Chains A and B, each alone.
Chain A
Amino acid sequence: MRHLREEELIEHYYATRAAGRGEDAGREKEFRAAEGHLQACGACAEARAALAAEMGEMDGLPCAEADAAYGTSVWNRVASRLPRMAAEEPPRRRAAWGMMLGWAAASAVLVIGAFEVGRVWEHRQHAQTAVARPAPPVERQIVVVVLGDHLDRTERLLVELKHAQGEDPDVVKPMRDEARSLLAANRVFREDADKSGDKALIQALDHLNQLLNDVANAPGGLNAASIARLQREMEAEGLLFKVRVLRSRNAHQGLTARIVVKGGTV
């Protein structure tokens, strides 16, 4: 008989609490299996009881309650700091934003259409003059990427990387997938930054590109040593801080959006 691991006991503990509140405990099958085991195994039942007792000590964490006037007080302080952006011309801004995206999407369709027509035409020409080579399948995914969201996601990834320990595949794999997904957009924003001449942005995006590349394509995968090295690099460059500064700056300057087509731009 396999005893329940501490993680399973913790899962069961929180599932029981959720069930006690009348909420869905989630993962019904695992929950029932753990329940069955706990009824049959005294050692696990004891460990589970100890866990409940210890975590019960954390229940009464003191919490200052906001009084009835708190909301008004927050509003009084927030109201004077609201940027003009949305207050002045939100409908027009939204319309302009929608129109811009519409134009961008239309342009994307035109470019891809032209590309496809050209490809078919070229293919036919080749077929007439030479041995036809099978064209590789073209799968293009168009994604609208907003700089603010890109920086948000990047920051989350950096925070995860900063606190990553060991090489648990449940942690490492999502990090690599996320880094791969962020790389393409990062390159696009790097090109934009080049045109704008924004040195701080260029430098930060360059460092980010290198780090994302290391996370996504580390030879032999991410292990404890490579994670530690990346953490040191990230720390030395102050990358997390830079991303936060950029994100905060971007929030005040408005949104920058780009359409990314499979690693390229439209």
Chain B
Amino acid sequence: MVSMGQSDQAAITAILAGDTEAYGSLVKRHSAMLFRMAYRVTGNAADADDVVQEAFLRAYVKLASFESRSEFGTWVYRIAVHCALDKVSGRRGVEEASRIGEENDAEEASSQVADEAPGPERLALSGEIGAMQEMALRGLSPLERTAFVLRHHEEKSTEEIAAALAIAPNAAKQAVFRAVKKVRQRLEGFRRTQKRASRGEAQRVTV
């Protein structure tokens, strides 16, 4: 049995020798780091939790192919990035499919307005900064969102992002560029809406 104090390498050696429980020490040690990244990429705790579990399951299956030259934490982090990307890619497919369904039924669409997430105007008025940021990120493709979160929030270098997403460094850089441009456009849109809303409010007060 491997205790929490033992190194990742010792735990891996124990697991490969048949001590399944030793994997617990790795899971406990690295879960929080994976959860933080997964939460930022997926935008909610339930999906982030799924990503963390899936990452550790995949890592366990592939553990025999893990090269001890690298750090286990870095390795499992990359696996989790893949899982998070899968999760947002799958979710986007479902969201797009449901949007198409809604577009086909205008009446149903209008009746659902009250249940939908707040629009930019409501967000701007209510000053829900966190929700505004989330809306800005929702305009990104899954790859762009993941690359942006890794660059901006997880503070990874272009090379680290490329390695985590298994794409060329130039492709990673381009994904970040596209993401930043889109985020700026969305934020600009929010600001314009906010200004319009403030002007409208001021006019109502004057009248």
Q: Contact residues of A with B, CB < 8 Å?
A: 6-7, 10-11, 14, 17-18, 21, 23, 26, 51, 54-55, 57-66, 70-72, 74-75, 77-79, 81-83, 85-91, 93-94, 97, 146, 148, 152-153, 156, 159-160, 163, 165, 168, 170-171, 174-175, 178, 240-241, 244, 251-252, 255
Contacts and interface: CB of A to CB of B under 8 A. Distances in A.
A170 B175 CA distance: 11
Interface string B61-92: 11111000000000000000010011001000
A77 B167 contact: no
A66 B27 CA distance: 13
A156 B16 contact: no
B35 A70 contact: yes
B133 interface: yes
B176 A10 contact: yes
Interface of B: 15-18, 20, 23-24, 27-32, 35-36, 39-40, 45, 48-49, 52-53, 56-58, 60-65, 82, 85-86, 89, 93, 129-130, 133-134, 136-137, 141-144, 151-153, 155, 157-158, 165-168, 170-171, 173-178, 180-181, 183-184, 187-188
7 contacts: A6-B177, A51-B180, A78-B23, A90-B17, A94-B16, A94-B64, A174-B170
A228 to B, nearest CB: 15
B155 A17 contact: yes
A71 B28 contact: yes
B24 A75 contact: yes
Nearest to A152: B166
Given A82-B57, A171-B174, A57 B187 contact: yes
A242 B176 CA distance: 28
Contacts of A26: 157-158
Contacts of A62: 130, 133
